[in-house]
Structure 1
Amino acid sequence: MTTPLLLTCPVGLEDLVRGDLRDRDGVRSELLGPGVIRCTDPVQLNQVPAMVDRVSIALSGIDSAIDAAGFLGIQQPTFRVQAQDPAVRSDWIGRLAALGWVNEPGDWILNVDTDAQVIDLGPWHWSRRIGHLRRLPATTPGPVAAGLLRLAKLRPGDRLLDPCAGVGTVPIVDALLRGGPSYSIDQDPESTRMAAENIANAGVQQAVSVLEGDAADLPIDDGSIDRVVSDLPFGKRIGSNELNKTLYPAILREVERVLTADGRCVLLSDDKRVFVESVAHARGLKISGERVIRYNGVTPTAYIVRRSRRPKRGRA
């Protein structure tokens, strides 16, 4: 199949996806619109960055569906049809069923999305490339976690900490991509339990340590963490904006304590005013970069935070 592949990622990460494709694999691409990239060179499955959620081809009639099946090497794939218009959906189901394909909305190989005019390739979806993780309502999406990790510029052997890890998405994605080591910490027992299950299911128990603990009082030694990456509570689905006025400064004090002298943080928050003010009052930290990311109806900012002074010698 010569039809170019379309890659979908969270809005705000497009340049990172295109840069990785170009610099790592020599794959050229072009930006079609917010969060949508078209590869102008062939792409292999293992070349798709973890920041990419969906991999698709343009929908241009029944022949494009047949091409998609051929690309995957499957003659009679299971499929799903997405269409707001019931008549359009029924028509497409009939046309695909006439090819001997099976309509399996819960276990599809090809997703014909007539509204978006694309055909999603099931085996190339994030959950099948990287892995399926149990989620809670406010869980960080996997491609967003991968984007935060990309911004953190982790090196081999770096010790990673997520102090508000929830079900462990950030440390698990890091373990699958880099091999860890990392700490997944959350004060909610249910989140911690699910994180342990996700870690076990992903087979990364040797790379990720899961602990129940308070982000404002971390069970971590001084100066022992190279990178902190976390999706902080926004105060919308978890906590409150009022609570963030005390929570963010407390988290930042602990981050400053545990971070190595050349450490780096990537902290995601949609409570932007409170976060910026909290960093401004954290005497040992500064914001060195910002990136707005849009996904699932929210537009938080990923803040890159570094030390503004060398840490005082603390207890080990």
Structure 2
Amino acid sequence: MTTPLLLTCPVGLEDLVRGDLRDREDVRSELLAPGLIRCVEALTPDKLPAMVDRVSLPLSDDNSVIAAAELVGVPTPSFRVHAKDPGARSEWITRIEALGWRNDPSDWVLNVDVGGGRIDLGSWHWSRRIGQLQRLPATTPGPVAAGLLRLAKLSTGDVLLDPCAGVGTVPIVDALLRGGPAYSIDRDPEATRLAHENAANLSVGQAVSVLKADATDLPLDDGSIDRVVSDLPFGKRIGSNELNKSLYPAILREIERVLTADGRAVLLSDDKRVFAESVAHARGLKISGERVIRYNGVTPTAYIVRRSRRPKRGRA
């Protein structure tokens, strides 16, 4: 019997994860709770959707811990135990050490989460499956970036732009999954430096063009971009709600200018009123879909934006 896998993803992306498992891998799953999916059929790390952050096994007894070791392919893995109750933590450490394994909270292969009733598989984590990125405080989590890209419906050869790319998460994840091409643009020099390093470290420098520029004055030709995907500043960690009243309309004007006639943008923001009003006043754009996503204590909305009219003659 296959051991059930517990898949964690950002809340709001569960149906996309389950749909990809079903359609691409012919794997059935069920929703257990917001952001938590159970998969009862065999699955390998390379088959997991990039929207999946963490993979675990249900914790029951010593046999479940042994099954986790078999899945990661390490007979005697290092481990750590997470438990609020010191007694429960000590008990599990003793039980697992009796198997000949090493308790190493700083360099673990298995994380035994007693309170959560799960065993996290270290080598199946997003950063190990997809890639380790250098971050800044407001960096978009990788699984969220993957979800935004999924909503964008990119095809082979499409040119992607993130005009507020920060350390380049969205374009780099796209390059790792699809192969690009993509533009990573940000006006912050430190973010741009890290984006260059991230692209180089993950060997996608040829697919991702990293530029230091302003999202309100893009160094790109009219009609040159097929898809725009971006986590916009929304005042919780970067910028302010007041600033967005002028920033969002300016960004949207540039997005309208650079998008192809059938282009699409997926824009994430928690400044929902200002964003909706900005799109409503943009003469050539409209919101065609919305999806609320929850992660790291915020609940922004991913807006799917398309043209409301064809570009004027002389533009792509």
Q: Deviations over 1:190-240 (max 9, x none)?
A: 000000000000100110000000000111111000000000001111000
| Residue identity in the other structure for 1:82 | H
| Residue identity in the other structure for 1:93 | I
2:61 and 2:105 map into 1 onto residues whose CA distance is 20
* Displacement of 1:58: 0.4
1:97 and 1:4 map into 2 onto residues whose CA distance is 24
Contact residue 2 and residue 41 of structure 2 kept, 8 A: no
| 1:263 corresponding residue in structure 2 | 263
| 2:163 corresponding residue in structure 1 | 163
* Displacement of 1:11: 0.3
Q: Deviations over 1:64-99 (max 9, x none)?
A: 101111222221001111112222222211211121
1:32 and 1:51 map into 2 onto residues whose CA distance is 17
Residue 111 of structure 2 aligns to a residue in which SS?
strand
1:74 maps onto 2:87 in alignment = no
Contact residue 79 and residue 103 of structure 2 kept, 8 A: yes
1:298 and 1:135 map into 2 onto residues whose CA distance is 18
Q: Deviations over 1:163-216 (max 9, x none)?
A: 000000000000000000000000000000000000000100110000000000
| 2:218 corresponding residue in structure 1 | 218
| Residue identity in the other structure for 2:223 | G
Residue 92 of structure 1 aligns to a residue in which SS?
helix
Q: Deviations over 1:11-58 (max 9, x none)?
A: 000000000000011001111110111112211221100000001110
What aligned pairs does 1:172-211 form with structure 2 within 5 A after superposition?
A: 172-211=172-211
| Residue identity in the other structure for 1:249 | P
| 1:14 corresponding residue in structure 2 | 14
Contact residue 2 and residue 40 of structure 2 kept, 8 A: no
1:268 and 1:110 map into 2 onto residues whose CA distance is 33
% of aligned pairs identical?
Answer: 79
Residue 238 of structure 1 aligns to a residue in which SS?
coil
Q: Deviations over 1:219-270 (max 9, x none)?
A: 1111000000000001111000000000000000000000000000000000
1:232 and 1:26 map into 2 onto residues whose CA distance is 35
Q: Which runs of 5+ in 1 are unaligned?
A: none
What aligned pairs does 1:101-180 form with structure 2 within 5 A after superposition?
A: 101-180=101-180
- 1:68 to 1:182, Cα distance in 2 relative to 1, 3 A: same
Residue 161 of structure 2 aligns to a residue in which SS?
strand
* Displacement of 1:152: 0.1
Over the aligned positions, Cα root-mean-square deviation in angstroms equals 1.0
1:237 maps onto 2:237 in alignment = yes
2:135 and 2:115 map into 1 onto residues whose CA distance is 27
| 1:63 corresponding residue in structure 2 | 63
* Displacement of 1:61: 1.7
TM-score (norm 1): 0.98
Q: Which runs of 5+ in 2 are unaligned?
A: none
| Residue identity in the other structure for 1:16 | L
Aligned length: 316
| 2:39 corresponding residue in structure 1 | 39
| Residue identity in the other structure for 2:222 | D
Residue 71 of structure 2 aligns to a residue in which SS?
helix
TM-score (norm 2): 0.98
